[in-house]
Structure 1
Amino acid sequence: MVDREQLRDWVRQQHAGQLIKYTDKPYFEHLEFVAEKAGNKALLAYEIGLCHDLFEETKISAGQLMIVLSGFGYGEAEVVHITDSVTELTDKFTKKVYPDLKKAERKRKEAERLAHISPDAQTVKYGDLIYNINWVLNYESTAKKEKYLRKKRALLNTMTKGDPGLRAEALKLLHQDVIIKII
């Protein structure tokens, strides 16, 4: 039998000591928000949402995640789906892997890549974007906010395969910011 609580506690432990930028809140709050937001919108989206930053923000590898998921009672197909989706959500165009590419080019290529990930991974990404857009609206300077939101509008215009309701929620957040700016 699957033990989601064990997975939740394990993910929390992996991110122990990490804080959400500009706050004293544990980073796990971001992961939990994404998991709950996407949770019933796609296959295993809760688990994917919890794990979506493991490969970027911890030293956990795909192989280690597979072992852990199996230990918590997930079947082989579930383990593969969760791990593959987390892999899809992990940045590929990093400075470490592409040191000769400028940041803008890496970000552009990453956005292009995200347009082609699976519908389930895109659904979780929408939840991630909803959290991040709200965070940016509350914590970033106006200049950084405008640049970020412009890029996320462009990204959401290309990411169309995930849950339409979550995508619409993310787009609405971006649209509200435009309305606020005009007024």
Structure 2
Amino acid sequence: MTRSEKLASWVADKHKNQLIKCTVLPYFDHLNKVALLAKGATEWGYETGLCHDLLEDTNTTSADLNAALLNFGYPEAIAELITFNVIELTDVFTKTAYPNLSKKERKKMESKRLQTLSPAAQTVKYADLIDNIAWMMKYDLKHAAKYLKKKATLLLSLNRGNEELRQQAMDIIRQELLKV
């Protein structure tokens, strides 16, 4: 088993009881799609994509992630880089952390924070948006137009990552907006 296969198995186990909203599909399917989209677009994109929701959706800590990566054979510098990218992709302005802020205020602050992400983390964010848009168009058409417009605005300011993947996300948004 390769180190990336070991990581994928570990991540799948961490998310084992989670399903993609409105489906019976394991949440790992979303993580794997994001990882595959990010794989060729940025260095260590596959690993970061697999882990991008790990810290906010499981009881895994950044130290746990780093230790697992080292255990699976990733060199220390690479394990630290992947862990850093995952930390960057973890929501900061949550309801728990900022209970006195409205959802709108938290989302605005989170959007500003996303603009500061490293190019690698922004690239994984593009991949995440692409898969989330596909979900939205299949399961929540009622809110799709508003969602797509917000994500189009966000992408205008997330311009540090892989330009091809960013353009793909923008093209998908444009195409999907024509349908709603």
- TM-score normalised by L of structure 2: 0.97
1:95, 1:179 → 2: CA distance? 33
Match of 2:56 in 1: 56
Residue matched to 2:95: 95
Deviation at 1:141, TM superposition (A): 3.6
Q: Check conservation: 2:35, 2:45, Cα contact below 8 A.
A: yes
Amino acid corresponding to residue 165 of structure 1 in structure 2: E
Letter in 1 for 2:55: F
Provide runs of 4+ in structure 1 moved above 4 Å.
none
1:135 matched residue in structure 2: 135
Partner of 1:17: 17
* Distance in 2 between residues matched to 1:105 and 1:120, nearest whole Å: 26
Across the two proteins, how many residue pairs are aligned to each other? 180
Shift of 1:46: 0.4
* Displacement of 1:116: 1.1
The 5 Å alignment of 1:109-148 reads 109-142=109-142, 144-148=143-147
Question: Unpaired segments of 5 or more residues in structure 1?
Answer: none
Displacement after TM superposition at 1:147 (Å): 1.7
Q: Could you tell me how far apart the structure 1 residues matched to 2:149 and 2:178 are?
A: 14
Q: Is 1:73 aligned to 2:68, yes or no?
A: no
Kept in 2, the 8 Å contact 1:2–1:74? The answer is: no
Q: Distance in 2 between matches of 1:21 and 1:10?
A: 21
Aligned match of 2:176: 177
* Contact 2:155/2:170 (8 A) holds in 1: yes
Q: Note the C-alpha offset of 1:19.
A: 0.3
Give the superposition deviation at 1:41: 1.1
Identity in percent: 46
**Structure 1 residues 73-114: Cα deviation after superposition (integer angstroms, max 9, x where no partner):** 011110110000000000000011111100000000001110
Runs of at least 5 residues in structure 2 that lack an aligned partner in the other structure:
none
SS of 1:128's equivalent?
A: helix
Asked if structure 2 preserves the Cα contact closer than 8 Å seen for 1:89 and 1:121, the reply is yes
How far residue 2 of structure 1 moved from its aligned partner, in angstroms, is 6.0
